[in-house]
Amino acid sequence: MAVVLMATSCRTNDGLTKAEREALVTRQVQEGLDTRHYTIAVDWMRPLGLRPRHVTSNYELKVNGDEVDSYLPYIGEGHNLPYGGGKALNFKGTIKNYSITYPTSNRSHIEFTVTNVEDSYFFRIDMFSNGKAFIDIIPRERDAISFEGEMVF
């Protein structure tokens, strides 16, 4: 009876072992990167020169082929903004100069730019095989900001 309990305790609620679950997540992350269709749910923001802040809303960054849908919070200084502050990091735009490299076996490094009527944004994403992501956004007309999150499936 103890053997049955030990074997059962090695399985997660979805019936997969920890190793099987990790392998599945790694495959899903790689598939999202290969097809350029992925969403990163953000739970931390790191404004330039300020303390990190936990975010509670459903903030996310979606990459869909050659388009990005950015719904992210922003705290920082603007330099040349539209009246009222503009849309900050809440926009849809066309991706330019998308590149992906693999510095290590468990990390992908993604870079691209997006330009809209308000600003030009340089995105740098470090995506790990376990789905964790670190996003740096460097706008031309605002202070840079960073985010932490996880790819959602």
Q: Is it the case that residue 36 has pLDDT exceeding 80?
A: yes
Per-residue pLDDT reduced to its tens digit, 111-138: 999 999 889 999 999 999 999 999 999 9
Whole-number Å distance between alpha carbons of 153 and 126: 17
Tell me the pTM: 0.87
42: left (phi over 0), alpha (psi -120 to 50) or beta: beta
Question: Can you give the pLDDT at residue 3?
Answer: 43
DSSP one-letter code for 73: -
Question: Can you give the pLDDT at residue 9?
Answer: 44
Domains and CATH numbers, the chain: 36-152 (2.40.128.410)
Is residue 108 within 8 Å of residue 102, measured between CB atoms?
yes
Whole-number Å distance between alpha carbons of 65 and 148: 22
Whole-number Å distance between alpha carbons of 117 and 113: 14
Per-residue pLDDT reduced to its tens digit, 66-80: 999 999 999 988 887
Whole-number Å distance between alpha carbons of 86 and 84: 6
